[in-house]
Chains A and B, each alone.
Chain A
Amino acid sequence: MTVLSEATTTVWTAVCAYTDLLPERGACALVGRHQIALFRTFDGELFAIGNQDPFSGAQVLSRGIVGTRAGEPSVASPMHKEVFSLVTGVCLDDPAVAVPTYPIRVADGTVEVGVR
C-alpha cells in the first residue's frame, strides 16, 4: 500500500540531458519552487539533494566540490565547507543537520528528478 501510494504521488520531471552534467561537478534544477542540486559522480552515478545550504541559507550546494568521505560520495558547501552525504543528505560534520534528498534517474539520456 505504502509503496503504491508513494509511487502515485512522485512526479518525475525531466531537467537536462545526462551529458549536461559534468563528472564531479554539480548543477541546479528549478522544479516548482524547489531548487535541487544534481550531481554526477566520477563513476557515473547520479544524486539529487536540496540546493540550500542549511548553515548559511544560501542556495549554493550545487556549486560545492564533489568528492568522497570514507568512501561515501559527498559535497562540501562552498560557503563554509560543511560536508554533506550525497546519498543521505546528512551533514557529515554535524549529523544533526541534513538536507532533503530526491530520487533521480536517467530515461533515454534525459535526467529526471522526482518531487513529491
Chain B
Amino acid sequence: MKLVVVGHGPTSSRLVEALVAKGFGGRITVLGEEPRAAYDRVALTSYLTGRSAEDLTYPVPEGVVLRLASRITGIDRDNRTVTTADGHVEPYDVLVLATGSSPFVPPVPGRELAGCFVYRTIDDLDAIREAAAGAGSGVVIGGGLLGLEAADALRGLGLSTHVVEMGGWLMPRQVDEGGGAVLRGHVEALGLTVHTEAGAREIVAGPDGRVAGLVKPDGETIEAQVVVFSAGVRPRDELARQAGLEVGDRGGIAVDDGMRTSDPAIYAVGECALHDGMVYGLVGPCFTMAEVAADRILGGQAAFARADPSTKLKLLGVEVAQFGAMDGALDVTFMDPVGGVYQKLFVSDDARTLLGGICVGDATPYNTLKPFVGRDLPGAPSELLFTGGPAGMDLPDDAQVCSCNNVTKGQVCAAIADHGLTDVAGIKGCTRAGTTCGSCLPMLKQILIRSGVEVSKALCEHFAHSRAELFDIVRVRGITTFSQLIDEHGAGRGCDVCKPVVASILASLGNGHILDGEQAALQDTNDHFLANIQRNGTYSVVPRIPGGEITPDKLIVIGEVARDFGLYTKITGGQRIDLFGARVEQLPLIWKRLVDAGFESGHAYGKALRTVKSCVGSTWCRYGVQDAVGLAISLELRYRGLRSPHKLKSAVSGCARECAEARGKDFGVIATEQGWNLYVGGNGGFTPRHADLFASDLSTEELIRTIDRFLMFYVRTADRLQRTSAWLESQGLEYVKQVVLEDSLGICADLDAQMDRHVASYADEWRTAIEDPGKLRRFVSFVNAPATPDPSIAFTAERDQIKPVLLPLEVVRS
C-alpha cells in the first residue's frame, strides 16, 4: 500500500510514528512544505532561548520517505495522485492531509510592510530575531495564548513590548474577566504594556519603508519596529476545497469519527481537520487524531470523540490553566491579589458536580481537580481551592491524567502492574503519559505512590532509609559519625553501598577531611587513596586544571612528574591531564611534586565536582560575548571538593555556538549578550540528555546563587548515584525551578548558608594528606614491606607509553 501524508508537523510526525509502531507494511511518503522535518511547535519559543532546530526536531522512523520543501499544488482524486509545486507526481492508495493551519492576518492597511511577521515556524522566528536586532520596541496583535508567547519572545529579544487585544482582557478563550485582570497584573509586572479593547487601525511605515508603528482605533500610535500578528489561525483546507472535499462553513476539512474525509481514500488529521463542528489547535487532540487515523488505516475501529479543550501552560512565568466548562450554575472563586493567584471552579447547582475551572498564577487545581470534571467533587469547592486539592484522593480509573497523549489513570495503573514499574520514567516509556507537556508528571508520581507497588527506598540491608532521608537525619540530628548513625538508625556494620553514601553526606555537611578518623574506613578505594583505581590495581592521578587553563610551566611539571614516575598520560574529556599507572606507595611522592608546583586535587576520584570545561571565551574568540574561561575558573574553584550523590560536571560557553558543550553537563552556562543562561540536568554517559534551560540572562552574581541552590538542593534530595538528569526528571523541572528560583519551600537561605560553609571550609585534600604522617601511613604497598612494589604489577609498552600486563587469574571454583 502506498500511503502519502501531506504536511509534516507534529501531528503528521505522530501519525507516521504510530503507523510504523503498529507495523504498517506499506510505503510511507511524507511531503512537507517547510524546508525542515517536523519539529515541536509547542516548544517553538525555546528556539529563541537557546534550543536548536535539531533539538526540537522529531525523529523520522527508518524507511519513511520524507520530501521537504515540497508544497502540494493539487490532488487528483480520480487517478489518486498528488502534484508538488516543482512538478513531482506522487501516487497514493491512501492520502492523509495534515496540512495544519496558517496564522490569520487581519486586513489591516500596512500589514505587508517589512517588519511585520507571524509566529508559526522556525523561519518566522529567524526573521523576527533578525528584525529585532536593530529594533527598540515591538507590538503583538492578539492577546491570546500564542500572542502572549510571541510577546514573551519579543521581550526575550530585548524589545520593549506591547500587546494589543481586541477583547476586554488577555486570553479571553481560556480565562474570564477576573482571571484576565490577574494575568494582566503579572504581564505588566514583567514590563509589557497591555492594550485591551484595542486593535490595529493601520500599520505605518517610517522613511526607510519599514514598520515604524501601529495606530490603534482611538488614534494613538504605538511606536514599534517589529509587528507580530497573532490573531488566531485558520485551517489549511485549500487543497481539500480545490479537490472538492467537504469543508466546513468556517473552514476545516470535514472528517468522521475515523478521521476520514468525504473521500474514503483521504483522511485529515490535526489542525486542518473539522470534527463534529470543532477545529482543534491543541497538541493533545491532534495527537489523538493521528493515533485514530493510524488505527483506521490499519483496519482498526478507533474513534475520535469530542476532545477536551483543557489547557495548562506557563506563559511569561505565569501558570494559566482552564479545564472543562467556562460557566456553570454556581462558581466559587479564590483570589489572592498579592500573590497574583486567581482560581475559579464551576459547579452544578447542587455544588456537587465539577463542571470546570480557571486558574491564573497557580494551576494546582488543574492538576488535582481536572480528572473530576463531570463527576462528584471529593470535597467542598472552597476547601478544595484553599487546600490545593485532595492530596489523598483516589482518582477513578477512567479519569484522563495525560491529555496530550490521552492516557487514563487506569492505563497508567495497568502499566505499573504489568511491567513492574517503579518510577515515572518507566510510566513515560510504557504509556507516553507525561512525554509532551509534562504537566501531569506530579500526578503520575502520586499514582505511582498510591499504586500499591511498594517502592522500596531502603538503601541496603543496613538502612531502611533513602539517601535523602539519611541526609536529613544526619543534618537535623547533627550526627558526625557512621557508627552513631548505624547504631541509632540502622543495623549491622554497613557495606560498600551505605558507607560511601554516609561518607558523602558527612562530607557534604562539612565534617572535615574525608580521611579523618572513622570517616577513612567509609571511603571507597578511590576516595581512600585520593586517586582512581585502574584494572591492574594501580591508580591514576588527575590534578585540577580549573577551566582547562594552564601555564606552560605547570604543563612542564606534569610532564616531568609523568616522565619521572613512568606514568601513562592522556588528555581527558574534561580539559585536564590524567596520569596512569601509579602504585599506592608512589601516590604521595607524585603529589608532593604536584602540590609543590601549585597543583591541587582534581577530585577525579570522588562523587564530587569534576571539572568546569570552557571555551576560550571573549578574551580571544572573535565570536565570544562573555569571559567563559574566567567564569569557568571561578565556578570550578567555588564548587571544588563538594561531595554529591554522583559526580558533577559543568561547562561554560562564551557564546551560543556552545563550543564547551555545556548542555551535556549537570550544570552548563552559555553566555548571552545580557549575561548568562543556565542549563541543568545534562548528561553524557549511558543515557545522554540535553540540559534544560533553567534561567536566562542572569548576572554573574545571580547565576552563582542559582547554581549554589540548585546543587545544594540536589545534594540534599537525590538518591544514591542519581545524576542530576535523573533527579531532575524525578522531581520535575518546574518543581525544582519553584524551589530554587522562587523559594517555594522557604529553604533557600538554608541552602545558601550550607554552600557558603562548603566554600569557606574547602581545603585541598592532597595537601592535607601529604602534610599528615598519620594519613600517609595508608599509602604503602605492604604493611610489612612498605616500599616493596607489588610484584604482580607489570607493564609492557604501546605507542611509546606503558600499558598494564593483565594479571593471571587463580579462581578457586568449588
A residues with a Cβ closer than 8 A to B are 14-16, 20-25, 27-31, 33, 35, 38, 41-42, 52, 54-60, 63-71, 73-74, 76, 78-79, 81, 83, 95-100
Contact = CB atoms under 8 A, between A and B. Distances in A.
Interface in B784-814: 784-785, 788, 790-793, 806-814
Given A30-B785, A67-B492, A83-B496, A97 B812 contact: yes
Contact of B814 (A57, A63, A73, A98): A98
B524 A16 contact: no
A40 to B, nearest CB: 10
A30 B807 contact: no
Contacts of A30: 781-782, 784-785, 788, 791
B781 A83 contact: no
Interface stretch (B170-178, B528-536, B556-564): B528-536
A57 B777 CA distance: 25
A66 B783 contact: no
B537 A60 contact: yes
A67 B494 contact: yes
A35 B535 CA distance: 18
A96 B784 contact: no
Nearest 7 pairs between A and B by C-beta?
A57-B807, A76-B496, A78-B525, A58-B537, A67-B495, A65-B496, A27-B783
Interface in B487-526: 492-496, 498-500, 518, 520-526
B525 A70 contact: no
Contacts of B792: 35, 52, 58-59
Contacts of A54: 809-812
Contacts of A78: 524-526, 533
B472 interface: no
Contacts of A95: 814
B783 A65 contact: no
Interface of B: 461-462, 483, 492-496, 498-500, 518, 520-526, 528-529, 533, 535-537, 777-778, 781-785, 788, 790-793, 806-814
A99 B495 CA distance: 19
Contacts of A24: 493, 521
Nearest to A98: B812
Contacts of A27: 783
A83 B492 CA distance: 15
B810 A60 contact: no
B525 A22 contact: no
A28 B781 contact: yes
Nearest to A82: B496
A96 B495 CA distance: 21
A24 B493 CA distance: 9
A16 B780 CA distance: 13
A42 B495 CA distance: 13
Contact of A65 (B524, B537, B810, B813): B524
A112 to B, nearest CB: 11
A74 B495 contact: yes
B493 A100 contact: no
Contacts of B461: 69-70
A52 B812 CA distance: 11
A14 B784 CA distance: 8
B78 to A, nearest CB: 69
Given A30-B785, A67-B462, A68-B493, A25 B521 contact: yes
19 contacts: A14-B784, A16-B783, A22-B520, A23-B518, A24-B493, A25-B521, A28-B783, A29-B783, A29-B784, A30-B782, A35-B782, A38-B783, A56-B807, A64-B496, A64-B525, A65-B494, A65-B495, A65-B524, A76-B496
A25 B517 CA distance: 12
A41 B316 CA distance: 60
Contacts of A23: 518, 521
A27 B521 CA distance: 12
A93 B610 CA distance: 32
B520 A25 contact: yes
